[in-house]
Structure 1
Amino acid sequence: MRVLLDTHVYIWRVSKDRRLTPRLRRAIEEAQTVYVSTATIWEMSIKAARGKLEPRAEYAIDEVEHHPFIELPVRLAHARAVRHLPHLHRDPFDRLLVAQALTEDLKFLTADRELAGYLEDALSA
């Protein structure tokens, strides 16, 4: 199984936050490959610059290279795929992550049930 982590799931995994459910933790541990999108780090960096990110979450911005995650760059195909998504969610970063999961055939790990609605095989908390 190849998975893409939603931003919250990534933060919880890196910071060892107990909000990461056993189900999500197990999915990460059992995954063949775990991806983190550059959009996740971009979103976190914007929030950090505005002072809207907890210190332990801000710490996760620089931790991605210290974990066995694969960087998933934002590609043209991902950006184009966003326009075909139904309007279930307004956040542009979340919509991009969903488009990446769909385009790359990745299981999307999220705590947001609204986002999980985009994908049949998304794994939510």
Structure 2
Amino acid sequence: MQYLLDTHVILWWLLNPKKLSQKARTIIADRRQKIFVSSVSFWEMAIKSDIGRLTLPNNMIELLQQESIELLSMSAEDGLAVADLPKIHNDPFDRLLIVQAKRYDMVLITHDATIMKYPVTTVKA
């Protein structure tokens, strides 16, 4: 199975894994699973860091690679597909993650109840 991590899940996994549910921790730690982080999440984290709402580890990509977490790039088709989503969530980053999870048949690991209202398979973080 393939899993896509919501942005806060990435940070919790790297900085405070006990914030995650036992199920989420088990999935992410299982090296047999394919775990992905979207380039969309890096964009979101960079913006939050720039405005002082987040302090990022300097070696974040290296940390993710050590965990065997793969990077998922955003395509033009991903961006355009956001227009087809119902207007349940206003967060552009979350909407792109939802699109990517659906398009690439991934389970989205999130703690965001609004994301869970979409027709996308999720695991509660």
TM-score under structure 2 normalisation? 0.88
Amino acid across the alignment from 1:34:
I
Of 101-110 and 8-17, more deviation after overlay is shown by 8-17
Mapped contact 2:101–2:120 kept (Cα < 8 A): no
Mapped contact 1:37–1:73 kept (Cα < 8 A): yes
Mapped contact 1:44–1:61 kept (Cα < 8 A): no
Mapped contact 1:45–1:61 kept (Cα < 8 A): no
Alignment partners' CA distance in 2, 1:121 and 1:6 = 13
Q: Does 1:41 align with 2:42?
A: yes
Q: CA deviation at 1:43?
A: 0.5
Q: CA deviation at 1:108?
A: 0.5
Q: Which residue of 2 aligns with 1:112?
A: 112
Alignment partners' CA distance in 1, 2:65 and 2:17 = 19
Q: Which residue of 1 aligns with 2:6?
A: 6
Stretches of structure 2 lacking an aligned partner (at least 5 in a row) = none
Alignment partners' CA distance in 2, 1:117 and 1:44 = 23
Amino acid across the alignment from 1:76:
A
Alignment partners' CA distance in 2, 1:118 and 1:98 = 8
Q: Does 1:89 align with 2:89?
A: yes
Q: Give 3-state SS (helix, strand or coil) of 1:36's partner.
A: strand
Alignment partners' CA distance in 1, 2:120 and 2:39 = 23
Deviations 1:97-121 (A, max 9, x none): 0000011110010001110121342
Amino acid across the alignment from 1:46:
I
Alignment partners' CA distance in 2, 1:66 and 1:28 = 12
Q: Does 1:64 align with 2:64?
A: yes
Alignment partners' CA distance in 2, 1:23 and 1:50 = 32
Q: Give 3-state SS (helix, strand or coil) of 1:18's partner.
A: helix
For these two proteins, the number of residue pairs brought into alignment is: 122
Amino acid across the alignment from 1:5:
L
Q: Give 3-state SS (helix, strand or coil) of 1:83's partner.
A: helix
Mapped contact 2:107–2:120 kept (Cα < 8 A): no
Amino acid across the alignment from 2:102:
L
